[in-house]
Amino acid sequence: MNKINKQIYWLLVLILSSLTTVYGQREPQYTQYMYNIGSFNPAYVGSVENTEITSSYRAQWISVEGAPRTLRLGANIPFSNEKNGLGFNIIHDELGPSTQTYFDVAYSFQVKLSDETKLSFGIDAGGSLLNVDYSKGSFEVINEPLINSNTLNKFYPTVGAGAFLYGENWYTGVSVPNFLTDVVYNDEVSVYIEDKPQFNFIGGYVFDISDGLKFKPAFLLNYLEGLPLNANISTNFLISDIVTLGASYRFDNAVSALAGLQLSNSLFVGYSYDYNVNGYSSSYNDGSHELVLKFYFGRKNNSRNNSNKKLKGKPKQIDTPRFF
């Protein structure tokens, strides 16, 4: 086997171990998944109280050339009838010589089970544009076969579905990003790669510790047959409806610190930093960074500024963050 330099070797190992991501529909990884629920569960898009637009950027394994980079733009749009909703997602994912752009449109319908509990169902449809340029990389052997391989360009249609059950201070859900599976033959590694559906399970509960403090533990599980279960748990504190502080743990992978700031009723900014605890530790990379911006439309004045104000003898109507 021809030798390549150490950095390219490790990058190829990571790529080959993530072929279901490159060729299939495994959802790009997020540390701040609690702000990206609509990207992997279409049932969520109509459950929000106001229209939201979310943008996020994730730079994984800083200082490693060709490491994953993910950019997402999404929208959750509830209808005025409080039953239906629309969602839009565009996700651009880069990994080594590959780039993959996902796009989809989601629709949700929800039913009221009780005064405080609703069950939402959602479907989405879209596609994925995959480009792999095997000529990228710095090889020590000029006749390395990968250099002479053709660029791969393919389009994959996607159809997904999900369910989302929630109350005033809790939620749980399940989703499958794509039911359409495919089999790709990879000449370079001479193996068949079967794309199987991925299942996502999510849940969380909001505890009101005091008037100005909320505590939310949450989890996200990703299951794909043939791969280890990807389990994420997180804890977040919301202070005075303004500041969010928390931590998360991805089993056998990374620990993370999270922070967020509600700059105004219409704008939230969140940041997280991952520190790897597996074999690919800080000895090989400088961690991962993730930034989230959320824009809210139609939200009324926040309670922290108006909780004691009255209008014509009645309490002024206000909105407080639902925290999920």
Is the separation of the CB atoms in 39 and 74 below 8 Å? yes
Is the separation of the CB atoms in 229 and 223 below 8 Å? yes
pLDDT of residue 304: 41
Q: Give the pLDDT confidence of 100-147 residue by residue, as tens digits.
A: 999 999 999 999 999 999 999 999 999 989 888 766 655 555 555 555
57 exposed, middle or buried (CB, 10 Å; 0-12, 13-18, 19+)?
A: middle
Q: Give the pLDDT confidence of 148-171 residue by residue, as tens digits.
A: 556 778 888 999 999 999 999 999
d(CA 111, CA 117): 9
List C-alpha distances in Å: 275 to 58, 97, 234, 256: 14, 25, 14, 6
d(CA 173, CA 45): 12
Q: Tell me the domains of the chain and their CATH numbers.
A: 6-300 (2.40.160.40)
d(CA 47, CA 172): 12
83 exposed, middle or buried (CB, 10 Å; 0-12, 13-18, 19+)?
A: middle
Q: Which of helix, strand or coil describes residue 24?
A: coil
